[in-house]
């Protein structure tokens, strides 16, 4: 295989903004085609690609090596399973699946067939998260004792995407924004010992949860994850406290904004946040108390697909493995059980 012939299963915001631009620019890949049910909008951006009219057409194309499953969450398990059984590698949007059992089955199929399977967790490559991780990894805060991660919005109107607003598998903010926060917490701190969660509906007319608070229990640490749609003035998105000091950081990655504006992710200053969004470090170095701004690392979603290419072409580990996806689903399942029982759920 000289390059990875790739198909994308939809060309809504996800396909147009988060997947196609990076696949088209990475020389490891060839964007062969996109599944569009009725229109051919992707041809305006990528002339010459093939338009598929059904999933069967994609899977019957023997030239396709990799399929991007970026359809609604409730379809992920079925479409990904069919992709793997057709002998093709897969990247699956978050949330990985609807249940832990589905996630484990996909992992097992991929393992048995020797295929690569990854969950698309692009927020690991956000500028803000990369900077938070660097501060923690460098030990600037000492032993971490408390962390709070937010993904808040002020958005009273309901989504025009009905699958996001009608109760059913994969609906609600726990499955929409929850996987981002949970994945980031697991990257930073690993699996917790137990979970407590509170889910709510706050918007008028909403039928699905649009607020959550999840508390992750670790032996010497508590991690709080929060998301809501009624937050006009946001709290710092990352608040980390340790034995030496604290770090506050806004959620200010600009990649999504630029991608929505059809900017190409290969310009020299790609992913560079405004200086005004630098995080605040208040800690102790060599016995001296300091309070200073920390330069933000550049965001780089392209690193995800570069790593996917390396995994397929050189048999390396996927950047976000299916086992990572299983762990996120375990936290989601535990959070749902905790909310229902109003109790702490051991992992």
Q: What's the pLDDT score for residue 204?
A: 86
Instruction: Say if 159 falls within a structural domain.
Output: yes
Task: Please provide the distance, in angstroms rounded to a whole number, between the alpha carbons at the two ends of the chain.
Answer: 41
* CA 210 to centroid of chain Cα atoms: 18
Question: Could you read off the pLDDT of 155-191 as tens digits, one per residue?
Answer: 877 777 766 777 778 889 999 999 999 999 999 999 9
Instruction: Say if 76 falls within a structural domain.
Output: yes
In this prediction the pTM is: 0.95
How far apart, in whole angstroms, are the C-alpha atoms of residue 5 and residue 8?
10
Q: Are residues 115 and 213 in the same domain?
A: no
Q: Are residues 135 and 276 in the same domain?
A: yes
Q: Are residues 118 and 130 in the same domain?
A: no
Q: What's the pLDDT score for residue 165?
A: 75
Instruction: Say if 8 falls within a structural domain.
Output: yes
Tell me what the pLDDT averaged over the chain comes to: 95
How far apart, in whole angstroms, are the C-alpha atoms of residue 84 and residue 69?
11
Q: Assess contact for 195 and 214: CB atoms under 8 A.
A: yes
Q: Assess contact for 182 and 328: CB atoms under 8 A.
A: yes
Q: Assess contact for 28 and 55: CB atoms under 8 A.
A: no
Q: Are residues 117 and 246 in the same domain?
A: no
Q: Are residues 163 and 19 in the same domain?
A: no
Instruction: Say if 184 falls within a structural domain.
Output: yes
Q: Are residues 54 and 201 in the same domain?
A: no
How far apart, in whole angstroms, are the C-alpha atoms of residue 66 and residue 5?
6
Q: What's the pLDDT score for residue 168?
A: 79
Tally of domains in the chain: 2
Q: Are strands 211-218 and 194-200 parallel, antiparallel or unpaired?
A: antiparallel
Distances (CA, A) of 299 to 29, 78, 129, 271, 302: 21, 32, 9, 4, 9
Six-digit token pair at 117?
Answer: 């399977």
CATH number at residue 74: 3.40.50.720
How far apart, in whole angstroms, are the C-alpha atoms of residue 184 and residue 131?
12
* Averaged pLDDT for residues 295-308: 98
CATH number at residue 159: 3.30.360.10
Q: What's the pLDDT score for residue 187?
A: 98
How far apart, in whole angstroms, are the C-alpha atoms of residue 65 and residue 59?
10
Q: What's the pLDDT score for residue 3?
A: 94
Six-digit token pair at 108?
Answer: 């097992």
Q: What's the pLDDT score for residue 163?
A: 67
Tell me the longest C-alpha to C-alpha distance in the chain. 65
CA-only gyration radius of the chain, Å: 20
- C-beta atoms surrounding 251 within 10 Å: 18
Q: What's the pLDDT score for residue 184?
A: 98
Q: What's the pLDDT score for residue 217?
A: 98
Six-digit token pair at 244?
Answer: 């030496």
Q: Are residues 259 and 311 in the same domain?
A: no
Which single residue is written with the structure tokens 């949330």? 95
Q: Are residues 70 and 117 in the same domain?
A: yes
Q: What's the pLDDT score for residue 162?
A: 61
Instruction: Say if 325 falls within a structural domain.
Output: no
Q: Assess contact for 210 and 200: CB atoms under 8 A.
A: yes
Q: Are residues 173 and 46 in the same domain?
A: no
Domain hosting residue 208, numbered range: 126-299+331-346
- C-beta atoms surrounding 118 within 10 Å: 27
Q: Are residues 250 and 116 in the same domain?
A: no
Question: Could you read off the pLDDT of 183-238 as tens digits, one per residue?
Answer: 999 999 999 999 999 999 988 888 888 999 999 999 999 999 999 998 999 889 99
Q: What's the pLDDT score for residue 171?
A: 85
Q: Please name which of 230, 184, 223, 225 lies closest in space to residue 204, comparing C-alpha atoms.
A: 230
Q: What's the pLDDT score for residue 126?
A: 98
How far apart, in whole angstroms, are the C-alpha atoms of residue 94 and residue 170?
10
Instruction: Say if 322 falls within a structural domain.
Output: no
Q: Are residues 206 and 340 in the same domain?
A: yes
Q: Are residues 116 and 188 in the same domain?
A: no
Question: Could you read off the pLDDT of 23-69 as tens digits, one per residue?
Answer: 999 999 999 999 999 999 999 999 999 999 999 999 999 999 999 99
Strand-pairing partners, residue 212, are: 199, 227
Q: What's the pLDDT score for residue 36?
A: 96
Per cent of the chain over pLDDT 90 is 88
Instruction: Say if 326 falls within a structural domain.
Output: no
Reply yes or no on whether the pLDDT at 335 is more than 90. yes
Question: Could you read off the pLDDT of 250-268 as tens digits, one per residue?
Answer: 999 999 999 999 999 999 9
- Tell me: cis bond preceding 14? Omega within 30 of 0 counts: no
How far apart, in whole angstroms, are the C-alpha atoms of residue 154 and residue 277?
19
Q: What's the pLDDT score for residue 156?
A: 78
């Amino acid at each position: 295989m000289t390059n990875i012939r790739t198909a994308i299963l939809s060309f809504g915001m996800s396909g147009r903004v988060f997947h196609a631009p990076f696949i088209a620019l990475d020389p490891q890949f060839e964007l062969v085609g996109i599944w569009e049910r009725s229109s051919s909008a992707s041809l305006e951006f990528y002339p010459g690609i093939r338009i598929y009219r059904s999933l069967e057409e994609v899977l019957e194309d023997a030239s396709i090596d990799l399929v991007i499953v970026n359809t609604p969450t409730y379809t992920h398990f079925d479409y990904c399973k069919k992709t793997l059984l057709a002998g093709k590698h897969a990247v699956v949007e978050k949330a990985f699946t609807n249940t832990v059992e589905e996630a484990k089955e996909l992992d097992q199929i991929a393992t048995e067939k020797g295929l690569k399977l990854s969950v698309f967790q692009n927020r690991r490559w956000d500028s803000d998260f990369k900077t938070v991780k660097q501060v923690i990894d460098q030990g600037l805060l000492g032993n971490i004792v408390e962390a709070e991660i937010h993904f808040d919005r002020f958005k009273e109107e309901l989504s025009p995407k009905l699958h996001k607003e009608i109760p059913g598998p994969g609906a609600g903010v726990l499955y929409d924004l929850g996987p981002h926060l949970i994945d980031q917490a697991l990257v930073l701190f690993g699996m917790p010992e137990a979970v407590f969660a509170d889910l709510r509906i706050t918007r008028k007319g909403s039928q699905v949860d649009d607020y959550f608070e999840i508390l992750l229990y670790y032996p010497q640490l508590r991690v709080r994850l929060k998301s809501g749609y009624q937050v006009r003035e946001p709290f710092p998105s990352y608040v980390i406290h340790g034995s030496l000091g604290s770090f506050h950081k806004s959620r200010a990655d600009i990649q999504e904004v630029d991608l929505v504006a059809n900017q190409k992710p290969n310009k020299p200053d790609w992913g560079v946040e405004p200086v005004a969004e630098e995080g605040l470090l208040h800690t102790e170095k060599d016995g001296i108390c300091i309070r200073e701004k920390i330069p933000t690392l550049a965001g780089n979603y392209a690193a995800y697909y570069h790593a996917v290419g390396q995994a397929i072409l050189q048999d390396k580990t996927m950047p976000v493995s299916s086992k990572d996806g299983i762990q996120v689903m375990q936290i989601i399942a535990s959070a749902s059980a905790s909310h229902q029982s109003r109790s702490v759920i051991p992992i």
